[in-house]
Amino acid sequence: MNDILEKPRKIYVTRKIEFNAAHRLFNPELSDDDNLRIYGKCSGEHGHGHNYLLEITLSGTIDRRTGYLFDLKELKTILEEEIVARFDHRHLNFDVRELDGNVPTTEILAVTVWDILESRLRTIDNKEVFLHEVIIHETGKNSVRYLGE
């Protein structure tokens, strides 16, 4: 038999999920005019919503016993518990304590998602799995990519 895993193989696994959330891009330390100039219509008083697409990529070596880097069913469960339950159908300015005191831009959201997932992954038994990348698509044309740097 050919032992494909004779040497460690670094691999990347990605899971996608969707969630819907509202936010208002507004910095209370700035004037209304400055907020309008910086954030445009996104600074509107009542906010607006997005159908976010989140891509999470893990990296590491393939487990010789299972042939997996990480069980995608388990990753789906983690994403549902940590991300969907926390962000879906929420107003990011008011309903998500991890975003308190921040303008909830997609950049801030990506860093927050990273921190949440990195913390959860540290509790997993497999020490060979690492969070590699978080991509959040705010629209079909706009996305943010964060690598934990």
Alpha-carbon distance of 57 to 16, in angstroms, equals 9
Alpha-carbon distance of 44 to 90, in angstroms, equals 17
**Which letter does DSSP use for residue 83 in this model?**
I
Q: Cβ(57)–Cβ(74) under 8 Å?
A: no
Catalytic residues: 42, 89, 138
Contacts of 69 (CB under 8 A, 6+ apart): 11, 12, 13, 58, 59, 60, 61, 62, 63, 129
